[in-house]
Amino acid sequence: MKKIYFTFILFFAVKLLHAQVSKNISVNFQQATIEQFTGELETKSGYHIYYDHAQFDSLKITLQVNNQPLESVLSQAFHNTTYHYALFESKMQVFLTRDKEIRTQPAAGYFNVKPGQTQPVAPSQVIDFTTAPVKAPVIESTIENKLYEVGIKTNQLKAGKASVSGYVKSAKSGVGIAGAGLYVANSGVGVTTDQFGYYTLSLPRGKQLLIVKGVGMKDARRQVMLYNDGDLNIELQDQVTTLKEVKISADKVANVRSTEMAVSRLDIKSIKQVPAVFGEADVLRIVLTLPGVQSVGEATTGFNVRGGAADQNLILLDDKTIYNPAHFFGFFSAFNPDIVKGIELYKSTIPEKFGGRLSSVLEVTDREGNKKNFAGSAGIGLLTSRLNVEGPIVKDKTSFIFGGRTSYSDWLLKLLPEEYKHSHASFYDFNLDISHQIDKDNNIYLTTYLSKDNFRLNSDTTYNYSNKNANIKWKHNFNSRLYSLITVGYDGYKYDISSSANPVNAYKLKFGINQTNFKTDFTYYLNRNNTLDFGLSAIYYKLNPGTETPNSASSLIVPDKVDDEQGLESALYLGDKFDVTPDFSISAGIRYSMFNYLGAQTVRTYAPGLPRTPLNVLDSTAYSGGKVIKTYTRPEIRVSARYNITDDLSLKASYNTLAQYIHLLSNTTAISPIDIYKLSDPNIKPQYGSQVSFGVFKNAAQNTIETSVEVYYKHIDNYLDYKSGAKLVLSHAIEQEVLNTQGKAYGVELSIKKTTGKLNGWINYTYSRTFLKQDDPTAGQLINGGAYYPANYDKPHSFNFTGNYRITHRYSVSLDVTYSTGRPITLPIAKYYSNGAERVFYSDRNEYRIPDYFRSDFSINIYGNHKVHQKFHNSWTVGVYNLTGRQNAYSTFYQQQGGAINSYQLSIFARPIPFINYNIRF
Amino acid sequence: MKKTFYLLFMLLLVTACKKQLAISSSAKVTNYLVVDGNISVGDSTFITLSRTVNLDSGARSKPELNAVVTVKGSAGENYSLVSKNNGQYVCAPLNLSLSEKYGLEIVSSDGKKYQSDFVPVKNAPAIDSIPYVAKGNGLQISVDAHDATNNTKYYRWDYIETFNIRTAFESKYIVIDPNSGPPSDIGLRTSQQQIYNCWISDTSSNIITNSSAKLLKDVINESPVINIPSTSEKLHIRYSILLKQYALTSDAFDYYELLKKNTEQIGGVFDAQPSQVTGNIHCLSNPAEPVIGFVTAGTVAQKRIFIDNSNVPAGWAAITPYTGCELHTLLYKRLVVSSNPNIPDMTINEIYNLIYSGSEIPVDLAAGGYTSSNSACVDCTLRGTNKKPSFWN
């Protein structure tokens, strides 16, 4: 490292100069660094050269000079740049500076000496930089006030644009930050980083100011001198001092600027500050506070997005499909809050790379392991505990993150009455992710997930269910404009129910889903105005729709198996984000999806126009293994557009069509872990959906308040409903039990978010309706005479307030208030006496509603001190769920007991539930 | 399954809450025909006709009177049923053929014609045994049955249970003639007049079904019938159950299962949503009119067992309505002395005031009168019958 001086240089200037003859030198630099440059000049000229390394580390010098004085060499090297030199012949010293010029002489007239010696000379022989094949190394930028020079440096700026790409990373852990926004000051240009924190931005060459905003990170600026295409990694500082910053969207400007509509991003910090029922942050339940998301009740993690059914949501954990995202029959979500980085919910503009579900995509992203240091955290709650460890395997290259959770609820079961005392319930889940950087253009990510639930009622029925997922992703940058992501993975979900209480009837019922995925996604930055996304994906499904076997030697159960189902879902997609003008951009894409229903399978043909009953089976055909039985194809359209009226006001519109080839069959109110999955086959058509939406987005108060109004209309075809008394378990002809229905949904969503400040949070109001209709006379029976009837989750009015107030840096309070119209239910219209008791007679479906829902939750977060370098950081969360103790109805129903009909209301969290949670981070 | 999910709520720190609501009036007035019964083989056939009533109605149902009910055979034979004027229609044992199918035809008093599907005659196999076992907090009574011919597969049961009760005090005396004065005003009870020992009978109100369709053999093993809590008065002295077994077609089985789900297994998080139950009876005059009920035909097998108090665990203590009963001593001449000198002493006839008036029942002789207690503590006929059932031994 060279010595650094300069501020007092001017004092030397007065001590000038006894003349000395400079010797002439010859040099030939090709992309020389400053060290090479100064080293050679020092050797050849005998001068000492002083400079600040930080200012010159991005400089590359290409210069060929023959037999010229040092001053001439320097003059040519720095001509037309922001660099300057000062040469002191008397001391044999050269000082190099950037931006500020050191004058070797006092100002004109100071000594009445005429200036002139240091005037730069015109360049003589400059070799054009573009002929140099050398690639500039990746620049790691950490300092705001430094000018980073990107691309192979040229003495003269070329006209036009160049692209800059790289990773936005956490300075602390070295982990990429997904969803961070990069904006060019004073222009409409901006991009968001991908899931790995990677970005590419096309800019006019020259000096640019980049503004970088990452969730949970300090906002940062980077000054960039863009010469040519190049790489710039940006490290952001964690926001350590402002603890409870709510960041709802990845970027403040993004709300208005991006073409995406109805995308909700939440980082784990926001998720953690919302009070949860047992004190442990719940990644899925938070989704219910977002506009346009409903659920049938509290004991379920199934959610309904804009009038869609619960199985129409694609739930992805780092691109792994999680079929059952719940533990404990829905009271906990399957995602470990210590591992999760954030979630994204796409409700309307579903990118063309996603498909296979009609309503939404919920992307849950795990953090990447800390690449610099070992770290971890642990949490203790009333029913569960969790631990997470992360750290580098090879520093700055390879890291891992591990998270585990387990429950210990048996103590709670011991409090129950005798008949339930000997029950047992437990679950665990593990995440292990490894990321490895092969080189600057190649990264590999391995992510795995395993969960298991076990539940036993005394020594009677035992329930088990388990998710198993793993995938490998390889990200390759071909160049700064094109990169690819290849994903190969396996997703499995299986469950079983067994009982051996009665030796003659002892049984075990098993179900399973296996899918193998292959996916490639390419992103190509065609030019400043166009970004192309394209790729293909394939999923091979193998479903076990039910196997029953005897569970003991004395069991008389006849083994029964519904034939395995096989299917291949593949898709090809292409999308373009086209910025027509800085204020108007369009995202247009098409996804061509195809589904093949494969053998071996036996398929029944029914008499056309007649109800699907055993009597109307015309024929039954057996297909051999691997044979394509039926193919469905569908072009899916994904279009959205955004027009900026002013900097903080924009209009957006979108139109989407989607197809779904896998169906969840359930005739219970809540989605249950033992529901059955079914692939589309010749008798069960795929579900098709289309949605059109329109929105106005306005930011206020320096983008700290985001407001939006969105309206949508949605249509669904071939949604499956069930015949009265349908038997879904072990049904060998499930098409005889289900009905095709169509659905329509519409609504308006109003949202206000305040993202920064001591008080932050969001308020949402949604008016929405969802109706289903079953009017196919060949289905055998009509629900409500074929008229539209409200879906189970049709809740017209819904209001949510989620807020956090930071009293000091060590205390903050959170309040969550939810109100919604009661969900529709079917109530009887008459009673009668039969079989020794009063019975009720039901008529039209979903004609009535349960009482309105209202709940408020409160929590206090207490943090230890905030010393950054302390070994352990601990925090407490104390709160009350359902503060007012309102007995919200889950259902109201009529039940016969002791021969008479009574009316009941069931409430799930019917009283205030206090909770406490202790967390430690190391 | 139901139990499991109920447990889930218990589990949640007992946070869940099931609250009874007042039943509100039906939004729609209905008057649908309800048909209940089995076309019996080898026994009298009872068919009950009624009409649906408003949900908040005090009456359980409205009997359908003056209908014409006929059992029809697929070979064309007709058997008329006789109205019993309470909605019940009866006929003497029919000799039905196993190779034929039978149905019901009903013409209601308003002239509408109803017809059931023709159903095969399913004869129930014998009940093998009615085992019972003390489990946790109750006595679980189950049923074992089998069909060696593997034809039954679908079973349904109902039962009549009878149990013995005894009041707090055995009344040996009865008021004979209050006007005659002692000693002939009150005399010893005859055995017909005893009100200490009674029997209460009740019928099943839950639908009990099971199926062996999934099994290698047509065997029903310990299929639950009823669970009697350990504190139940039913087990206090002696209990008897008469279990009746029906064989069902698979359609009838589905109907009963759905009826059970709709009216008994409902309201839980993972319980099926209610749905319309469609039986096998149709209104020919107005096909859109719903008719409730499922007509079945066949023999009924039955079996009775007794369970004595000595058969249940010794620690089980019944909770009877007689706790807190007190025995009083009532006198013909009770001298009442007042502490107020202005009020003279009085003699009160407690027998006259309390026993003759019926507010107390004499239990036994006492010096100068009788011991007594109030009727709820002494008179078992307020709850049951003092006639010993013929099957009781």
Which of A416, A839, A905 is nearest residue B19 as measured by Cβ atoms? A905
**In chain B, which residues have their Cβ closer than 8 Å to the Cβ of A558?**
214-216
Tell me the residue range of the domain where A99 lies: 9-129
Judged on CB neighbours under 10 Å (0-12, 13-18, 19+), A672 is buried
Which residue ranges in chain A fall short of pLDDT 50? 1-21, 108-134, 240-253
- A164 and A48 part of one domain: no
With respect to residue A893, please indicate whether it lies within any of the assigned structural domains: yes
pLDDT band at B267 (very low <50, low <70, confident <90, very high): low
Which of B9, B34, B275 is nearest residue A834 as measured by Cβ atoms? B34
A835 and B259 within 8 Å at the Cβ level: the answer is yes
Residue A669 pLDDT: 66
Per-residue DSSP letters for A848-859? EEPPPEEEEEEE
pLDDT digits (tens, 9 = 90+) for A371-410: 888 988 888 877 788 899 999 999 888 999 999 999 887 7
- A173 and A308 part of one domain: no
CB proximity list for A264: less than 8 A, separation 6 or greater? A248, A249, A287, A290, A343, A344, A345, A347
Question: What stretch of H or E contains A36?
Answer: helix A34-45
By C-alpha distance, the chain A residue nearest B37 is: A835
Token pair in block for residue A113: 């000496």
- A166 and A85 part of one domain: no
The runs of H, that is alpha helices, within chain B are 2-11, 250-263, 350, 375-378
**In chain A, which residues have their Cβ closer than 8 Å to the Cβ of B147?**
none
**Number of C-beta neighbours around residue A403 at 10 A:** 25
With respect to residue A233, please indicate whether it lies within any of the assigned structural domains: yes
- A659 and A744 part of one domain: yes
With respect to residue A682, please indicate whether it lies within any of the assigned structural domains: yes
With respect to residue A676, please indicate whether it lies within any of the assigned structural domains: yes
B8 and A329 within 8 Å at the Cβ level: the answer is yes
**In chain A, which residues have their Cβ closer than 8 Å to the Cβ of B256?**
835
pLDDT digits (tens, 9 = 90+) for B216-241: 899 999 999 999 999 999 999 999 99
CATH number at residue A667: 2.40.170.20
The answer for A 587-646 residues in CB contact with B (under 8 A) is none
CATH number at residue A169: 2.60.40.1120
| Residue B206: HSE in the Cβ half-sphere, 13 Å Cα cutoff | 13
**In chain B, which residues have their Cβ closer than 8 Å to the Cβ of A725?**
254, 257-258, 261, 275, 277
pLDDT band at B349 (very low <50, low <70, confident <90, very high): confident
Which of A420, A502, A842 is nearest residue B10 as measured by Cβ atoms? A420
* Structural domain ending residue among the three candidates A74, A105, A129: A129
pLDDT band at B105 (very low <50, low <70, confident <90, very high): very high
Judged on CB neighbours under 10 Å (0-12, 13-18, 19+), A540 is middle
Q: Does A409 touch chain B (CB under 8 A)?
A: yes
Nearest Cα to Cα of residue A678 among A691, A694, A660: A660
* Structural domain ending residue among the three candidates A129, A156, A186: A129
The answer for A 338-357 residues in CB contact with B (under 8 A) is none
Residue A746 pLDDT: 95
Give me the total of CB pairs closer than 8 Å, taking one residue from chain A and one from chain B. Answer: 242
pLDDT band at B25 (very low <50, low <70, confident <90, very high): confident
Interface test with B, best of A331, A906, A915, A916 (most B CBs within 10 A): A906
Number of domains forming the structure of chain A: 3
B222 and A894 within 8 Å at the Cβ level: the answer is no
Residue A243 pLDDT: 33
B254 and A828 within 8 Å at the Cβ level: the answer is no
Give the Cα separation of A98 and A106 in Å (integer). 19
- A344 and A278 part of one domain: yes
With respect to residue A832, please indicate whether it lies within any of the assigned structural domains: yes
At residue A28, what is the residue type?
N
pLDDT digits (tens, 9 = 90+) for B48-96: 999 999 888 888 889 999 999 999 999 889 999 999 988 999 999 988 8
In A146-295, the DSSP E strands lie at 147-150, 161-170, 181-184, 190-192, 198-204, 206-213, 220-226, 230-236, 263-267, 293-294
**In chain B, which residues have their Cβ closer than 8 Å to the Cβ of A331?**
12
**In chain A, which residues have their Cβ closer than 8 Å to the Cβ of B276?**
724, 842-843
In A705-778, the DSSP E strands lie at 705-722, 738-754, 759-773
Checking if the pLDDT of B171 tops 50, the result is yes
A297 and B8 within 8 Å at the Cβ level: the answer is no
- A229 and A269 part of one domain: no
CATH number at residue A114: 3.55.50.30
With respect to residue A771, please indicate whether it lies within any of the assigned structural domains: yes
Q: Does A887 touch chain B (CB under 8 A)?
A: yes
- A152 and A115 part of one domain: no
Give the Cα separation of A268 and A255 in Å (integer). 19
CA distance A676 to chain B (A): 14
- Number of residues assigned to chain A: 922
- A734 and A850 part of one domain: yes
ipTM score for this prediction: 0.85
Nearest Cα to Cα of residue A532 among A479, A587, A582: A587
**In chain A, which residues have their Cβ closer than 8 Å to the Cβ of B222?**
502, 504
With respect to residue A4, please indicate whether it lies within any of the assigned structural domains: no
Q: Does A895 touch chain B (CB under 8 A)?
A: yes
| Residue A897 φ then ψ, to 5° | -140, 130
- A358 and A490 part of one domain: yes
pLDDT digits (tens, 9 = 90+) for A614-646: 888 888 999 998 899 999 999 999 999 989 888
Q: Does A826 touch chain B (CB under 8 A)?
A: yes
- A317 and A447 part of one domain: yes
Residue A778 pLDDT: 66
Inter-residue contact A174 to A240 (CB < 8 Å)? no
Inter-residue contact A594 to A569 (CB < 8 Å)? yes
Give the Cα separation of A375 and A370 in Å (integer). 7
Cα angle for residues B91, B97, B100 (degrees, 5° grid): 105
- A111 and A14 part of one domain: yes
- A565 and A683 part of one domain: yes
| Residue A291: HSE in the Cβ half-sphere, 13 Å Cα cutoff | 26
Q: Does A461 touch chain B (CB under 8 A)?
A: yes
Predicted TM-score (pTM) of the model is 0.75
With respect to residue A1, please indicate whether it lies within any of the assigned structural domains: no
* Structural domain ending residue among the three candidates A129, A157, A173: A129
